[in-house]
């Protein structure tokens, strides 16, 4: 599987996650690299995908990403955060996910 195919498959999976979590279709806009530290520890170091939402009643944009977790690091967790203040960009979406109580964004 080529990197381009893997990237497109990941974006498609994130669009499905956004639809399942927030009930809206989405259009991929861009990829943004985010590095976030909390209390001296790296809590996120990776890409966040940015999506415009189609006909969502409260938000025009969503930020989404995946990460691996589980005791054997064999489970994929999908995260999708709506652009509703205080979330205004990819970095604040990661921060909001952390503040929501997850150990991993």
Structure confidence by residue, pLDDT tens digits, 54-104:
999 999 999 999 988 777 777 888 999 999 999 999 999 999 998 886 544
Q: Dihedral angle at the C-alpha atoms of 15, 79, 11, 88, nearest 10 degrees? A: 90
| Cα 9 to Cα 13: distance, rounded to the nearest angstrom | 6
For residue 6, report the phi and psi dihedrals to the nearest 5 degrees: -60, -40
Q: What pTM does this model have?
A: 0.88
CB 75 within 8 A of CB 69: yes
Strand order in the sheet with 61-69: 25-38, 41-54, 61-69, 75-82
Residue 11 has which token pair? 């974006």
Using alpha carbons only, how large is the chain's radius of gyration in Å?
14
Q: Is the dihedral of CA 53, 57, 60, 63 positive or negative?
A: negative
Per-residue pLDDT of 8-55, as tens digits, reads 999 999 999 999 999 999 999 999 999 999 889 998 999 999 999 999
């Amino acid at each position: 599987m080529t990197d381009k195919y893997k990237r497109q498959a990941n974006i498609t999976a994130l669009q499905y996650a956004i639809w399942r979590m927030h009930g809206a279709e989405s259009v991929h806009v861009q990829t943004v690299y985010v590095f976030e530290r909390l209390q001296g520890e790296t809590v996120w170091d990776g890409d966040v995908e940015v999506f415009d939402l189609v006909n969502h009643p409260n938000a025009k944009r969503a930020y989404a990403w995946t990460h691996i977790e589980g005791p054997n690091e064999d489970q994929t967790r999908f995260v999708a955060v709506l652009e509703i203040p205080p979330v205004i960009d990819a970095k604040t979406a990661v921060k909001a996910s952390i503040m929501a109580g997850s150990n991993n964004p």
